[in-house]
């Protein structure tokens, strides 16, 4: 990270940002062509989970390259400057991670992953229709590295 002064070293703060984030953006690459896609996600403290349909661009990319990058943010807002355009800024917390992705095919693991996703948004456990479970594809990201970053105002008010 270039701006070491903005790096988050507190693992609890990184966990908090992940817990509060509403969208995870996945960075994928196929044939030297990048692709970024927003997804709903779940996190159990060690692994990140997301789901997909049976087909689509995301699956084409995942089939070619299991390496993945993800990004999340929380409390993002613009800080305007009334007189200088180049003095506008952002207030934010962000997390970027790297890892590998694998499809979950075992039924019990699929239920676990889907519950992690649903817990992230609803704080509850759910029962799933068998027919629906056959159609959804679930994925697990094994996180290899994660870093956090915060804006200067977050550090000052921290």
* Confidence (pLDDT) at 98: 98
CATH topology of domain 4-152: Pnp Oxidase; Chain A (2.30.110)
Tokens (6 digits) for 75: 């409390």
Question: Which residue pairs from 124-132 have beta carbons closer than 8 angstroms and sit at least 24 positions apart in sequence?
Answer: none
* Confidence (pLDDT) at 153: 79
Say whether 52 sits in a helix, a strand or coil.
Answer: strand
CA distance 37 to 68: 11
CA distance 141 to 99: 6
Pairing of strands 89-104, 67-79: antiparallel
CA atoms within 13 A on the CB side of 45: 1
CA distance 34 to 27: 7
Q: Are 71 and 96 in contact (CB under 8 A)?
A: yes
Q: Which residue bears the tokens 């999340």?
A: 72
Averaged over successive runs of 10 residues, the pLDDT of the chain (158 residues) comes to 77 96 98 97 97 93 97 93 90 96 95 95 85 89 96 76
* Confidence (pLDDT) at 95: 98
As to burial, measured by CB atoms within 10 angstroms (0-12 exposed, 13-18 middle, 19+ buried), residue 158 is: exposed
* Confidence (pLDDT) at 126: 85
* Confidence (pLDDT) at 73: 96
Q: Where are the alpha helices (DSSP H) in the chain?
A: 11-20, 57-64, 107-122, 130-135, 152-157
């Amino acid at each position: 990270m270039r701006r070491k002064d903005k790096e988050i070293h507190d693992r609890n703060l990184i966990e908090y940002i992940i817990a509060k984030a509403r969208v995870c953006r996945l960075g994928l690459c196929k044939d030297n062509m990048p692709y970024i896609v927003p997804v709903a996600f779940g996190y159990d403290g060690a692994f990140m989970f997301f789901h997909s349909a049976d087909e689509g661009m995301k699956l084409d990319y995942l089939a070619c390259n299991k390496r993945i990058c993800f990004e999340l943010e929380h409390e993002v807002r613009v800080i305007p400057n009334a007189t200088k355009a180049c003095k506008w800024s952002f207030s934010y917390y962000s997390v970027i991670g790297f890892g590998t992705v694998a499809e979950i095919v075992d039924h019990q693991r699929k239920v676990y992953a889907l519950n992690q996703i649903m817990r992230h948004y609803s704080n509850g456990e759910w029962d799933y229709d068998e027919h629906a479970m056959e159609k959804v594809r679930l994925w697990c990201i094994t996180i290899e590295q994660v870093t956090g970053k915060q804006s200067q105002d977050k550090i000052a008010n921290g």
